Structure 1
Amino acid sequence: MLTYGEFTKMGFKLDFIKFKELLLFAENQLNIKVRRYYEFHDLKTDLEFRKNAYKRAIAFQILYMDKQAVSTADDVANKPTSVSQSIGGTSVSKSFGSNSSSSGSNSAETSAISLEALNQLSGTGLLSRGICYD
């Protein structure tokens, strides 16, 4: 759906091999959020603003996955929430926030989706959870 040329034209930088590795994962994660809309509708003939927003969301999702070193919700759920290192009498800890399993939330809610990708989809109707009565 998103080409490497479109990705770089948006101003994003990532080598082609990494882009190709993460593209399918990014599309799969966003497909879940948009209720598989583009499995039933043609992206090429969709409204220009929605098509562009979806492609930007994929681009941001790719960058997020690369930066966070995650590809799936399992990767997010299993990522450590803190790292500690001790040398002699000195100890340093880095906290990354809490994952769903440590916060007591339902682990089925764990998501690998970038907040910026969701922001790109906002206002497009793709995140709507309404019921169609056709």
Structure 2
Amino acid sequence: MDTFLDYYKNNISPTLEKIDLFFKTEEDKGNTISLDILSELLDISITEVEEILDRYEIKNVNKSSFFIVMKEGSSEICKYFKRQLETGLLNQYTPKNIAYIYQIPQQIIEKAMVESNLQSITPKNLNTLFSYIYIEC
């Protein structure tokens, strides 16, 4: 049986790393972001990207509008991002926050906290928490 940490490292983290690397290498160029790249980074179709851009009357995709598309997209990474924003960018999370963001039952989060001896959940110890959450892949 795998842990949620395994799932996170294999499915979520690589996408976040690609997005981070993209912005680190493209940040100072000031160029617009192509729909192909946006679609690939966010794992959504070009049609979906175009629909979101039309809805918000966005003509060119830049760093700011990238995150609007990310917040509105239907892919897994987009949904995590949206729930994270709705919860807030916190220094400390409740089990309820983590349950909502990652769609894991709250009682499983609470059990993992006990098993891992975590008194609180922070961005720095999320990996520890995730290593105590067992999932079936």
Which band: TM-score by shorter chain? under 0.3
Return the structure number with greater strand share.
1
Return the structure number with greater helix share.
2
Structure ID, larger Rg? 1
The TM-score, its normalising length taken from structure 1, stands at: 0.27
